[in-house]
Amino acid sequence: MRIAVIGVGYVGLVTAAGLAETGNIVIGYDIDPQKVNKLSQGKSPIYEPGLDRLLERNLQEGRLSFTNQLAEAITHAELIFLALPTPSGTEGEADLSFVFQAADSIAANLCQIAEKEGILFPRIIVSKSTVPVGTARRLQRFFDERLPNQIYVASNPEFLREGYAVEDFLKPDRVVIGAVHPPVLEKMRQLYLPYTRQGNPIYLMDWESAELTKYAANAFLAVRISFMNELARLCEQVGANIDWVRLGMGADNRIGRRYLFAGVGYGGSCFPKDTRALAATARQYNLSLSLVEATIQINHLQRKYFWEKVQTYYRGNLRGRTLAVWGVAFKPDTDDIREAPALDILQWLLTEGATVRVFDPVALPNLQKQYPEWPLYYAPSAYEAAREAEGLLILTEWGEFRQPDWDTLKQNLKLPVIFDGRNLYDPKEMEKIGIDYISVGRAPVYAYSSHAPSS
């Protein structure tokens, strides 16, 4: 099939490369000429394991190309995927301005193409962006007014986990397709058959159900995380260990083991935005999704709860102290810092007058670009970040942080204390090593000092 992907950000780029991998001819469109030029050279602007190889292979085979000319992208496209940002509005609602600006440009260009080149045939517009319920129906009305009987809209939400996006696209757990025209459903089903040969399902449904499925899935996962974070606070009060509670819960096959880890809270481009948008959609229908609203609030409070642990240890006196931070990405195996818990923690540390030495394996360039005014020391390694620091905060569970050289780390730290927002280490081991260790949902370890320092 001939396919255009409008917007080659995170979702669009993975979609374009993934669709080309099965033999489709794909053109990715973006308004940024520098991004297009970089992609045309086989260089991905985002960090995602496996994406570089996928990009390079399909460029070399001639199945994938990029352009900043919309007409070039859509002239011969049977399917036009919309992979555009839908940021949060002032009330948490999804901002659809990028989606409808693109729709307007597509309609205008298709009219010109039909008039000048005589190329006119039915096309499918596929909404890949995460959009509120009712968006596909609005898009269909929009195109019906401009190109009657020429455009058919489908909803095809993405379920890509950052760090595993290539694997998720090529071997999806499920594919969800929403449409009201049977030929459109069949065309989309045929598109995805190569990715589901192992028997994973393709679900065909209406527009609204497909759109809501995406929000419901992300909101439910966020609920699980916030539930465990709230439960971790109770564990600390009653003397329980959240790790043991998690294992006991997860062994129940009705619950499962995934997304039951307590920590400093969730972040990223999906969970925060999608929970807010789902709650906002409910309010538009005079409903209150109390569980979703509580999930959002708990996640916000969890960052402050972790921050209070740091303040308590130093008796509220952070001014002039040097602290190290490991991890700024919202999760490992990505350079994405959108709504990462580390951003709040870093800002609070700087506001309190601390000197901060920060390290992340891939996300530091994004942090420096987004917050150039922050007076941070960008360390070239994890151990260099810890040098002469009076404490270490761990905010992303990168694999290389899991088994550090403890002798080297202790030698570098001026004060051997770790605030672990991801519960990477065994408290008993920390006691043996001689490190003060404050984690989430577990009893603190004071192996170096009998109590927090007073100055």
* Residue in the structure block whose two tokens are 């948490």: 92
User: Tokens 């995934």 identify what position?
Assistant: 258
Buried b (16+ CB within 10 A) or exposed e, 266-281: bbbbbbbbbbbbbbbb
Is 270 considered catalytic here? yes
301 CB-near residues (< 8 Å, 6+ apart) = none
Contact indicator for 335, 365 with CB cutoff of 8 Å: yes
Q: State the Cα–Cα distance between residues 371 and 192, nearest whole angstrom.
A: 40
Report the C-alpha gap between 251 and 321 in whole angstroms.
43
Ramachandran class of 7: left when φ > 0, alpha when ψ lies in -120 to 50, beta otherwise: left
Instruction: Specify whether the CB–CB gap between 385 and 403 falls below 8 A.
Output: no
In DSSP notation, 53-79 reads HHHHHHHHTTSEEEES-HHHHHTT-SE
Question: Do 292 and 359 touch, CB atoms closer than 8 A?
Answer: no
Q: Which of 74, 83, 270, 435 is catalytic?
A: 270
Question: Alpha helices, DSSP H only, in 352-405?
Answer: 364-370, 382-386
Q: Could you give the residue numbers annotated as active site? A: 270
